[in-house]
Amino acid sequence: MNLHSLLQKREAEKNPVRVVLIGAGKFGSMYLSQARRTPGIRIRAICDLAPDRARASLQRTGWSDADIAATLITQDTAAQIAHPDTEVVIDATGNPAVGIRNVLACCEHRKHIVMVNVEADALAGPLLAKRAHEAGIVYSLAYGDQPALICELVDWARAAGFKVVAAGKGTKYLPAYHASTPKTVWGHYGFSEEMVAKGDFNAQMFNSFLDGTKSAIEMAAVANATGLTPAREGLAFPPCGVDDLPRILRPRSAGGSLEHEGQVEVISSLERDGRPVFRDLRWGVYVTFSAEHEYVRRCFNEYGIVTDPSGEYAAMYKPSHLIGLELGISVASAALRKEATGAATGWRGDAVATAKRALKAGESLDGEGGYTVWGKLMSAGDSKAKGALPIGLAHHVKLKRDLPEGATVSWDDVDYDASSEAVKVRREMEKTFG
């Protein structure tokens, strides 16, 4: 609980943590709003393919004209990572291939890296974290995003001596959403054409949250960071409110919904008939854990902890997350404590491309949130055995054969560029951790 005092010390010493932000979209903008008033932090450069958008983000988030004029805004990411004054790099691009390139550059130049880019982490996080460790830098998931917050709850439970039964997040889910496309997504969200026209909405990005892809990506990252594992059938998205967490997020053998103890799972804020779940956790994260002794069960009861009917299983949760507004925790932790707020320790979960509809040979896949495939959570072992194509590489690749709806897309099903950096890193990760 001393990050603020450490930041104040760096401010007093006139030696602030110098940060390079790559990507000034929504997440990056939210961080910029807080960075300008955080002691001991300086944004030394913003890298964005659209410099005017970056300047608009600074204006929108309260930066003065003088501070904007004094901030370097550039498209030259490589030069800013290599700059001797750079201490921490934030990748907020969302592009897995770009994220891999940026992590490798940070390893080369020994700069800590905070990965808002969970897409890159799900694609090759175990190898990227290994490379970072060997380079002596911190590779970290981004606090404020749900995976890092889940990792924090898991760490809390284990450090307090509890066995973790399950951990995950909430989302809005119905089975039909797996077929959602950028054309149908706004109807599922209840957005009118007028709302969409007036807003700054990316249909494919929003659709990735709805069709299950983002949940698979994030739970793969959590599994790889915590040692928890997916169920064999992937995410089940059981409807569940916060008061029912201990009852539903316990093993089936004890009357719950889990295939096994130590599982990652996402819960739905909607009942299967579309009704809202009472006291849902749509924006939050949770962990369930077990007592393992009558004394602990009695303590749960004495202190008003909500449990399952047996009193054995309990839960803690955080009802919401503040996205980029909380990102400074990761930046300060990496720079001042040399600690990650979550990082892969092995390959346990994968997000694999799955056909949204019957696909024909010659069709080009359009990746996360698109019209052709969605990302399904799978154990790393099953992914390797099936030769599954990760969702992070299911962009702009053509099918070599017809596939039925629901089929797992394999490496053998597509023409891919084996010489690309992202493919080579992913293949090395499979070989190293498979």
Bridge partners (DSSP) of residue 398 are 364, 415
Q: 90 CB contacts (<8 Å, ≥6 apart)?
A: 19, 20, 21, 22, 23, 28, 31, 113, 114, 116, 142, 327, 331
CA atoms within 13 A on the CB side of 385: 6
Q: 202 CB contacts (<8 Å, ≥6 apart)?
A: none
Structural domains for the chain:
3-144+324-337 (3.40.50.720), 147-173+212-320 (3.30.360), 350-433 (3.90.1210.10)
Quote the DSSP letter at residue 162: P
pLDDT in tens, the chain (434 residues): 799 999 999 999 999 999 999 999 999 999 999 999 999 999 999 999 999 999 999 999 999 999 999 999 999 999 999 999 999 999 999 999 999 999 999 999 999 999 999 999 999 999 999 999 999 999 999 999 999 999 999 999 999 999 999 999 999 999 999 999 999 999 998 888 888 877 667 899 899 999 999 999 999 999 999 999 999 999 999 999 999 999 999 999 999 999 999 999 999 999 999 999 999 999 999 999 999 999 999 999 999 999 999 999 999 999 999 999 999 999 999 999 999 999 999 999 999 999 999 999 999 999 999 999 999 999 999 999 999 999 999 999 999 999 999 999 999 999 999 999 999 999 999 999 98
DSSP calls for 208-229: HHHSSHHHHHHHHHHHHHHS-B
Answer for the pair 222, 151: CB distance below 8 angstroms, yes or no. Answer: yes
**pTM, 2 dp:** 0.97
Angle at 218 between CA 345 and CA 173, to 5 degrees: 150
- Token pair of 377 as six digits: 């959570």
R_g over Cα of the chain = 22
Answer for the pair 215, 171: CB distance below 8 angstroms, yes or no. Answer: yes
Query: For the packed helices 118-135 and 421-433, what is the interaxial angle rounded to 10 degrees?
Result: 70
Helix locations, 319-364, DSSP H: 328-332
Q: CB count, 10 Å around CB of 400? A: 12
Question: Closest Cα partner for 100 from 79, 80, 83, 77?
Answer: 77
Angle at 199 between CA 198 and CA 201, to 5 degrees: 140
* Residue whose tokens read 């096994």: 260
Answer for the pair 236, 265: CB distance below 8 angstroms, yes or no. Answer: yes
- Token pair of 324 as six digits: 């980029």
The beta-strand segments (E) located in 129-179 are: 139-141, 163-171
